[in-house]
Amino acid sequence: MLVNKYAPSFRNIFVGIFLLSFSACTQIQSPDVGQHNLSPTTEFAIPDDVYRLKPGDRVSMIVVPKTELVNYRINVGDEINVLVQDREDLSIDYVVNPDGSIQLMQLEPMIVSGITMQELNRKVNLAYQKQGLESYITVGLRKFNTPLNEFIRILTPAGVQNNPFITTLEIDGKANFPLLGQLDIANKTLKEANDFVANKYLSLFDNADITLRIEDSARHTITILGAVREPGSFPIAGTAPLLTVLGAAKGYTDEAQLDSIITVQPRGNKVYVNKFNLEENIVQLTDVKMAPGDTIYVPKKTISDINLFVDQYIRKNIPITTNLPLLLF
């Protein structure tokens, strides 16, 4: 009788010891309470300086020339105006040749690509002084940023504001950028991605101003997969209980294994994977809040080994950033 009376206590102690030892091996954690258990009315708008880009996000790029020309460096195709006082025959507009040179009247060809206007002005004055010309000379730009302007024209033929260039992060986290090819911008904040892409374009255009914007993102939706009647992504403005989100997919099918509902929740620099038993813990699940960017998976068979499930399904099929640590609970 004594053993039977205290058997549940002994069993709970045993389970507790088992869970503690298991957690020490697998880093069992749950999402931060401050973000995981938000009330349904709380907005969960992840700001651009916190949200990290992930596969499936659509990013637009606007490229415009910088308005500051103090340090502008002359480029191929630019049009340079030379004015020589009292010498109309020497006052001519010149276009920078493909080799980066111009040939002013009565002078040898000179390489001007890559130098500033101040440097060009000194160079032209010195060259004419060596020819004995003491007239006042000014050098200006009639047309500049020629390669960049042509790139912008091809990139956004309808105008940058009406039709910005848009690219999508593929499953490997890379997005295609004109002239640069595939760039890995996954797991970067918008600012980090902006700086990364801008620095790449600086090697081609030193006067380009690059602005990235998030056009469409997983942070605005919750994805529901598996044995539900209408799987897919559903828009969400704030947070919602797990059961409410399942209702958005018209509920689960007859094949659903309700003892193995999986949630995948990116939080900061971690991804939390949780397994819930809807049949036994339906009351507890009312407190589980889902936020934009989360994924719910309803399997067709019971998941006994969540570690194996993560390796075989989540890492391969759910587009989360693969270098984030997966914390199982």
- Number of independent structural domains in the chain: 3
Let me know whether 272 and 307 are in one domain: yes
Of 218, 216, 217, 312, residue with least CA distance to 262: 312
- Which amino acid, residue 26? T
Q: At 32, which CATH number?
A: 3.10.560.10
Let me know whether 284 and 259 are in one domain: yes
Domain boundary among 173, 200, 216: 216
Let me know whether 189 and 226 are in one domain: no
Domain boundary among 164, 190, 216: 216
Let me know whether 209 and 233 are in one domain: no
Block mean pLDDT (10 aa), the chain, length 329: 38 33 31 36 50 84 80 86 90 92 91 90 91 88 85 77 80 90 92 95 87 79 86 77 84 87 78 83 77 85 74 58 49
pLDDT of 268 reads 65
Let me know whether 184 and 98 are in one domain: no
pLDDT of 33 reads 35
Q: What are the structure tokens assigned to 62, written together?
A: 């606007």
Domain that holds residue 277: 27-48+219-328
Residue 20 included in any domain: no
d(CA 268, CA 291): 13
Domain boundary among 216, 231, 257: 216
Let me know whether 169 and 261 are in one domain: no
d(CA 84, CA 71): 24
Residue 267 included in any domain: yes
Residue 7 included in any domain: no
pLDDT of 289 reads 84
pLDDT of 328 reads 53
Let me know whether 259 and 119 are in one domain: no
Residue 189 included in any domain: yes
Q: At 106, which CATH number?
A: 3.30.1950.10
Model's pTM, two decimal places? 0.52
